[in-house]
Structure 1
């Protein structure tokens, strides 16, 4: 980087984002009862290497579905209250610059489960998976299979969205137990999916339960974390579908019945519910997600395993039509910040102090690498990871170092290095942004810093050349 392009401060960038969120929340609170600002009293992240070593942690990895970056009150939402997730943040580390592995559901899940770019696998090229032709190949190592090989019990509860039966399933990819749905969305009461099929399974067999889906997943997860695991460490991937469409909250049986009628009548787009929803309904769904997470965390505490359980919460991609993403631009499906930057919170009382905020840029494959290292598991040498382990950063205060975060979706490309971001949207125009000054991505610096733009574009193209091409159709 030339002297005209000095290194930028991540701390300054995050401070600007937080200040913006606080201002937005403060302004909104004057007319919105109960609006909350981001967490006060946070201090910049600092590892606590003096803490005594513990056993390998249990891992509770929770995903929300289509939750926007600022949809939690601890991230600046002016109207949504999320006290349980805010408490989790106070007890651990809140990440301001966390990203998903892609801009839609199934590619991000591929990146998390494999620790690799979605474009390294055929199934990861679907954005998202919508038919039975592709999925996560059972022969590919996963977070679950590698942890299982290291002595962990493994379970996935909730949304899988990495392929359909008979060829693809969590139980074929390393999870000992599976309870949930295979597809990308389902109606919360009837469990009907996009094609009108019933989509609630235990293992590979249909399981009938017509109660509200979030309640069912919460019960199942609470039971799992509350078990006596006989001192064997465990991994639970808990994948809620909330607040993904359709826009039905707990108790909306009449709304559910109308959507089901339209699905059974084969009305196009019935499940997508494009003519439904509202800010008020979305608020209700996010707050229900928060209560559900709180219930699972209470079950974990009652079990006596809280101290040595690493809990991680994030969204699978940016928010959709009712999300609060300010000040970010774009939403789900886009590689603008609003499509890939997500809320992310980590808590591990045995090893990491609470009340902290991290401004380190991180993305989904990093967590795969991190959890493998913390669990004492090794990646498969034939399938090298694209993520960077953050174990040294989190536990010993080591620098992560400057590196590239890479994204590719059909028609868009992006790469972040430090506080620079290279972006090409569907217009085909290369753009360059300094995120510390312009998190909204409105001030294009491409003409002012052509050397930086050329370097980041070349880095993106080198990585892209290693990946599978998209199908022509």
Structure 2
């Protein structure tokens, strides 16, 4: 049994009419002590409860993604100064993962891994870290979570940041999402909707849509409307991709700051949106707390619609934190394969099937959610495009032992692989390092010299995966 297994409590519906029965999840032991930097309160020790009653139905799926939100930026994950009551409540109502990771260390590769369930480097567009021009994107012929669910009867929509290619060749509407409202690029100014190249970047479908209000408010309204809508008996998938708290560091009401950034963009300053001369810890706090309120609005709309019980809600981030993020005790941040660049907050709630108040230390990453959501929705991956993610449904819903496998990452100049609690890492220095994350979450005690056989084994495992991926263009 691996050291990170832990017991979860579930509600399972068998479809048979009968009396309630209780059973213990086989093969799951108690979780180890919490990771450093996380709030107190251990995982649930409740036993698995199998409830016999009406059959379960295919759930709605609401996948919420923050942008550049660090692992410890939520109070549920230990932030000492940012207050996120709505996301904390979501965690209390479901399962909070302490060892969850993004599929890559920057925006668009992680989105490729989530949309496809595969390593970013399986596709040419996923090699861009991140996509910054119109030459590459997610090929419309490639199956996605949305296209596979749509084929099985789901209504599908993406609201917010797409960042997997630009028009005319790439769009959510070409990759399985029936509805799209949001931005194509990696960043935009929150009021003017001007992107990195000075282009206007707010669209409904594939047509420009004019709305100069604060962006987070607009997509929150759109998402609230979508989850409240009558979908005529179809289950639905909504990918809700916030840009908050990505730069520029402007909160709602910061119209003077917005105007200054717009002036610089129009004057030809291609770095204006990076806002390297702006922002602060307090401004970042304001933006994260706004993200929390926005998520709360959408979840309230979902509850009022009467669909909460049968909706799977997943919350995560596309990569680790940026300049003002609270990442302690992790090392590194966005763009790095150190823990601070890829470890992210991750919460799942499904009232019909999962008991709340639980914590899991099982390592998971973005492509796992693609595999998981396909399974719970009754859809299958395309046989010609095998998934790299592993479904968590057996672990979460049926009490099965978590699948033991490697988590793999590759970015230009860095490599990483996690197996159990051991992590192999090579940064831009070119030096191979080995860390035991069970006791060294900060990656400071390099075990390479004292564990040479383990280092060689993990390095060989990384290289075996890498050999099957597309090479970076010269």
TM-score normalised according to structure 2 size: 0.93
Q: Distance in 2 between matches of 1:354 and 1:248?
A: 34
Contact 1:10 1:436 (C-alpha < 8 Å) held by counterparts: no
* Separation in 2, partners of 1:342, 1:398: 24
Q: Map residues 35-434 of structure 1 onto 2, 5 A cutoff.
A: 38=39, 40=41, 42-43=43-44, 47-50=48-51, 52=53, 53-434=55-436
**Alpha-carbon shift at residue 41 of structure 1 (Å):** 6.5
Determine helix, strand or coil for the equivalent of 1:15: coil
How many Å separate the matches in 2 of 1:46 and 1:210? 51
After superposition, give the CA deviation of every residue in 1:148-205 in whole Å (9 maximum; x if it has no partner): 0000000000000000000000000000000000000000000000000000000000
Offset of residue 119 of structure 1: 0.4
Q: Give secondary structure in 2 for the equivalent of 1:85.
A: helix
CA distance in 1, matches of 2:241, 2:305: 21
Cα contact 2:94–2:354 (8 A) shared by 1: yes
Q: Distance in 1 between matches of 2:45 and 2:390?
A: 21
Q: Measure the CA separation in 2 of the matches of 1:331 and 1:442.
A: 15
Q: Which runs of structure 1 show a deviation greater than 2 angstroms over 4 or more consecutive aligned residues?
A: 6-16, 38-42, 44-53
Give how far 1:51 is off: 6.3
Match of 1:470 among 462, 469, 472: 472
Q: Flag the 1:288–1:43 CA change in 2: closer, same or farther, 3 A.
A: same
2:21 match? none
Report the alpha carbon displacement of residue 7 of structure 1 after superposing the two structures with TM. 6.3
Residue 228 of structure 1 and its aligned partner are, at CA, apart by 1.1
Contact kept, 8 Å, 2:160 with 2:182, in 1: the verdict is yes
Aligned-pair CA distance for 1:14: 6.2
SS of the residue corresponding to residue 188 of structure 1 reads coil
Q: What is the alpha-carbon distance in structure 2 between the residues aligned to residue 399 and residue 375 of structure 1?
A: 21
What is the rounded CA distance, in whole Å, between the counterparts of 1:47 and 1:264 in structure 2? 59
| Backbone CA RMSD of aligned residues | 1.5
- Structure 2: unaligned runs, 5 residues or longer: 7-29
CA contact (8 A) 2:100 2:364 kept: yes
Q: In structure 2, what is the Cα distance between the partners aligned to 1:354 and 1:39?
A: 16
Whole-Å Cα distance in 2 between the matches of residues 44 and 439 of structure 1?
Answer: 24
Residues 112 and 364 in structure 1, CA contact (< 8 A), matched pair in contact too: yes
CA distance in 1, matches of 2:299, 2:222: 13
Unaligned runs of 5+ in 1: 1-5, 23-37
8 Å contact 1:47–1:393 — kept in the other structure? Answer: no
